[in-house]
Amino acid sequence: MGRIRQIVGMTLLVPVFALLGLLTIIFGNLLRFLHLYKAADAVIYVIIQMIIRWIYITLGALVKVEGRENIPQKGERICYVPNHSSMVDIPVILGSGMWCGLVAKQELYKVPVLHGLLKVLHCLPIDRSSLRESAKTIFKGADQIKAGIPMCIFPEGTRSKTGVMGEMKAGAFKMAIKAKAKIVPVALGNTRFCLEGARSIKPVHVYVKILPAIDTTSLSDEELKEVHTYVENMIRREVESFPGPDGR
């Protein structure tokens, strides 16, 4: 049944995603070319939210979000750090009030349409096979945060293949630290059951909990060295407390 869910969901999702994605790329880039930046951002936001709602419908995701009050004010330096177990994590983050650019694996930039979408959303490709190239991406991400663009990075480095949360790497937090940003821990639950780990065709209860922000400028050098462990423990506690995909 899980396989049926994947096939039907993707069959319904891909054509609409491609069409709306192309519209986002065309109108977003055109308006930015004309220096109508606010209009471009508004158009991109509206169409992306349409895509996200369609993803929820086709994959049967019932998303519950807690902690929106913990999202820092617009204009502050922000870095979201969620756990990562599914391709569905990205639309769930963007659809839960966390409008941001993302650090995404470079392989995604080889996918037609998705490549253009990632660019208009201020996302950055990362080559995790090269420490030097990864560091360059982290520095670029820090610069974008300083310029007022909230960013998101998955500190585990890759999606969990089992759904069990992995270790968060200290290097991923350097983007927030260099930008002197607020780290916003985000716990995601059950996203994997919408697609990769689908077990049935029943709706999946997806949980998002946005935790209180951590201001890196208020931390000591010793606390900054251990912030990845502190955040990992915060998120792990929440992930382990979430109900199952059936809501129980």
Instruction: With CA atoms as reference, report the closest residue to 77 among 210, 228, 178.
Output: 178
* Residue 81: other Cβ atoms inside 10 A: 28
Return left, alpha or beta for 102; rule: phi > 0 is left, psi -120 to 50 is alpha, else beta. Answer: beta
Residues 70/78, Cβ–Cβ less than 8 Å: no
Residue 11 clears pLDDT 80, i.e. is over it: yes
Q: If pLDDT is split at 50, 70 and 90, which confidence band does 68 have?
A: very high
Q: Which domains does the chain have, with CATH numbers?
A: 65-241 (3.40.1130.10)
Can you tell me whether residue 17 is helix, strand or coil?
A: helix
CA distance 225 to 208: 27
Strands 182-189 and 204-210: antiparallel
Residues 194/61, Cβ–Cβ less than 8 Å: yes
Average pLDDT score over residue span 211-237 = 96
Q: If pLDDT is split at 50, 70 and 90, which confidence band does 93 have?
A: very high
Longest dimension (CA), the chain: 51
pLDDT tens, residue by residue, 183-196: 999 999 999 999 98
What's residue 28's pLDDT?
97
Average pLDDT score over residue span 172-179 = 96
pTM of the model: 0.94
What is the Cβ-side half-sphere exposure of residue 34, based on CA atoms within 13 angstroms? 10
pLDDT tens, residue by residue, 98-142: 999 999 989 989 898 999 999 999 999 998 888 888 999 999 999
Residue 8 clears pLDDT 80, i.e. is over it: no
Residues sharing a CB contact under 8 Å with residue 46, sequence separation 6 or more, in sequence order: none
pLDDT tens, residue by residue, 21-44: 999 999 999 999 999 999 999 999
What's residue 45's pLDDT?
97
pLDDT tens, residue by residue, 227-236: 999 999 999 9
Residues 133/126, Cβ–Cβ less than 8 Å: yes
